[in-house]
Chain A
Amino acid sequence: MVASRSVRLAAWHFRRSFASSLGLGLVAVIVLLALAGPWIVPYPDDVAGKVNLADKLLPPSKAHWFGTDEVGNDILTRVIVGARLSLLVGIGITLAAAAIGVPLGILAGTAGGKVREAIMRVTDLFLSVPGLVLAIALVAALGPGIVNAMIALVLVWWPGYVRLAESKALSIRGEPFIEAARVAGAPGLRILWRHVLPNSLSPIIVKMSMDIGQAILAVASLGFIGLGAKPPTPEWGAMISIARGYLPDWWWYAICPGAFIYASVLGFNLLGDGLRDILDPRSHRG
């Protein structure tokens, strides 16, 4: 009963907002491509980087909608297959960062005192350095590669979740229902787990949706400067990095991966905005 109502409520919200529907649509397309990629692409052999110099750098045509690259691979094929990698990386980074940041933030916000000071000062330390710059330094130390890029991005990403979870926990800590739980005799850990955490989740879910897009962009950025995935892995950032050398004459090479990065960042951001409206408890009373 309750579940079906929230599904209907979500549908109602999305129907009323073009931006949210667009976000949902873009994300759905990317997820679909990520799932079905290898089976629907026109040139499956091009995924692994089969060299076909006869067809290199062809402009967009009926056979190759977005043209071909410098070794004659179909760009659309490689971009679609790249969706799976980008999505996995984006979701992986976000989940890992939230898994580290949220418990720390909730603990800091609920416990207060020295615990809070310790957690928040370490968090500030990380936040005081621009994220991508820190990530670049970390990858440079760990060595380039997609796994190291992910590790580096998780390390710079979790402090944002500490901040958010802490501020949310702080405001919930002052709510009368927390005092009611204390009066009922609930120990601290139970209050944290049963009352503070569930009531903190809405803004965290919204941030996670938006961060998936940002993480995709960050991984692409690392790929672009050669610190992420290595060719011939079909990764969007790495593709643009190579395509840059062929601008402006072979412009279509950069357009397709660029558009997919753009669409996924936009999609996850708009989806996050839509989720914010749905998860806002005030909208349930309407």
Chain B
Amino acid sequence: MTLVEIRDYRLAFDTFDGTLHVLDGIDLALEAGQTLGIVGETGCGKSVLARSLLRLNESPPARVVSGAILFEGQDVLALPERAMRRLRGRRIAMVFQDPASYLNPLLSIGTQMEDAIRGQESAAGEAKRPRRAIRDHAAGLLASVGLAEPHRLLDSHPHQLSGGMRQRVLIAMALAGNPSVLVADEPTTALDVTVQAQVLALIAGLVKERGLALMLISHDLGVVAASCARVAVMYAGTVVEEAPTAALLANPRHPYAQGLIAAVPDIDNPAHKPRGIPGSIPNLLKPPTGCRFHPRCALATDICRSTKPALRELAPAHRVACHHATPEHPGP
């Protein structure tokens, strides 16, 4: 069953210098229980896309140019704000990069968890429950994200918690509405590598136990490779390749995806010299015509400069947006 479907979604930001064409015709789908990683570099629009699912991009400056984001067949972009509130947290929950700034430093963890649970229940129109029941519910959520002594934790304040614990608390809050989709925007970027491994293991466990669909946004190919069955690679506001993770890593077809993989240093194989991608990301005020990657692409020809390549299925479930990728002839 398709939970989320993004169709030809175009988003622009109106700024002083002009219109930034941030997302240019995104087509993506997320099935129930599926794990989809979105990977790309600064400015590729991956966070903006994630926030679009919950309509969190402030408008202005954001402006939807075209397209639709369907959640269970309903267009999120056309939903009234009240219905949107019911969707947020209850059906689609989100976890962010910097756990410290998403917790109020003045309130105890318990108060913030209770507020989150109450907010979810009132949005759903459920009857009010006594505080004791809600506290027990909160403690249960904290325990489910692997936090010891949950009842004692409810009385502590954010500054008493380590970065990893805070991110666990935020994940617990995200689970309060029992969502079917978890959107995680760089959830481990602010964490140390040993703690990152713990949080990735936690997310993987929750996805499995609860049958969550996961959309994981990261700049780190390794994080996505560890956590997601499918990967979409974004460049300058477009999806350039989408495939099962193993297929993409073993046989990337888009020149940008190839470059991205070749740029990652391999800890186990220091003889592999990472290679950079020449040039720099385009100015989205005046994005390149045709394929947005063409100014940095070694394969670029006239058609790349004139026509935007469509995402074509070159192998089963392996879609590539490149004029030069062909089914018979895998990219160089």
Q: Do chains A and B touch in the complex (CB under 8 A)?
A: yes
Residues of A within 8 A of B16 (CB): 8-9, 12-13, 283, 286
CB distance from A107 to the nearest CB of B (A): 32
CB distance from B13 to the nearest CB of A (A): 8
- Tell me which residues from 269 to 296 in chain B have a Cβ below 8 Å from any Cβ of chain A: none
Bound state CA distance, A283 and B17, in angstroms?
11
Q: Count of A-B contacts with CB under 8 A?
A: 9
B15 at the binding interface (Cβ < 8 Å): yes
0/1 string, A5-41, CB within 8 A of B gives 1: 0001100110000000000000000000000000000
B61 at the binding interface (Cβ < 8 Å): yes
Bound state CA distance, A286 and B61, in angstroms?
9
CB distance from B263 to the nearest CB of A (A): 25
- Tell me which residues from 170 to 189 in chain B have a Cβ below 8 Å from any Cβ of chain A: none
CB distance from A258 to the nearest CB of B (A): 38
Bound state CA distance, A12 and B17, in angstroms?
10
Residues of B within 8 A of A8 (CB): 16
Residues of A within 8 A of B61 (CB): 286
CB distance from A282 to the nearest CB of B (A): 12
Bound state CA distance, A148 and B15, in angstroms?
49
Looking across the interface, which residue of chain A has its beta carbon closest to that of B61? A286
- Tell me which residues from 166 to 182 in chain A have a Cβ below 8 Å from any Cβ of chain B: none
Of A12, A13, A283, A286, chain B has the most CB atoms within 10 Å of the CB of: A286
Bound state CA distance, A8 and B15, in angstroms?
13
Bound state CA distance, A286 and B16, in angstroms?
7
0/1 string, A268-286, CB within 8 A of B gives 1: 0000000000000001001
Looking across the interface, which residue of chain A has its beta carbon closest to that of B16? A12
Bound state CA distance, A25 and B243, in angstroms?
58
Residues of B within 8 A of A12 (CB): 16
Bound state CA distance, A208 and B279, in angstroms?
44
Residues of A within 8 A of B15 (CB): 286
0/1 string, A73-101, CB within 8 A of B gives 1: 00000000000000000000000000000
CB distance from A219 to the nearest CB of B (A): 38
0/1 string, B8-20, CB within 8 A of A gives 1: 0000000111000
Of B15, B17, B61, chain A has the most CB atoms within 10 Å of the CB of: B17
Looking across the interface, which residue of chain B has its beta carbon closest to that of A284? B16
CB distance from A18 to the nearest CB of B (A): 15
Bound state CA distance, A8 and B16, in angstroms?
9
Residues of B within 8 A of A283 (CB): 16
Bound state CA distance, A286 and B58, in angstroms?
13
Bound state CA distance, A283 and B15, in angstroms?
9
CB distance from A5 to the nearest CB of B (A): 9
Residues of B within 8 A of A9 (CB): 16
Looking across the interface, which residue of chain B has its beta carbon closest to that of A9? B16
Bound state CA distance, A9 and B16, in angstroms?
7
Interface residues of A (CB under 8 A from B): 8-9, 12-13, 283, 286
7 extra interchain contacts, Cβ-Cβ under 8 A, other than A12-B16, A13-B16? Answer: A8-B16, A9-B16, A283-B16, A286-B15, A286-B16, A286-B17, A286-B61
Q: Which 6 A-B pairs have the closest CB atoms?
A: A286-B15, A12-B16, A286-B16, A9-B16, A286-B17, A286-B61
What are 9 residue pairs bridging A and B, where the CB atoms are less than 8 Å apart in the complex?
A8-B16, A9-B16, A12-B16, A13-B16, A283-B16, A286-B15, A286-B16, A286-B17, A286-B61
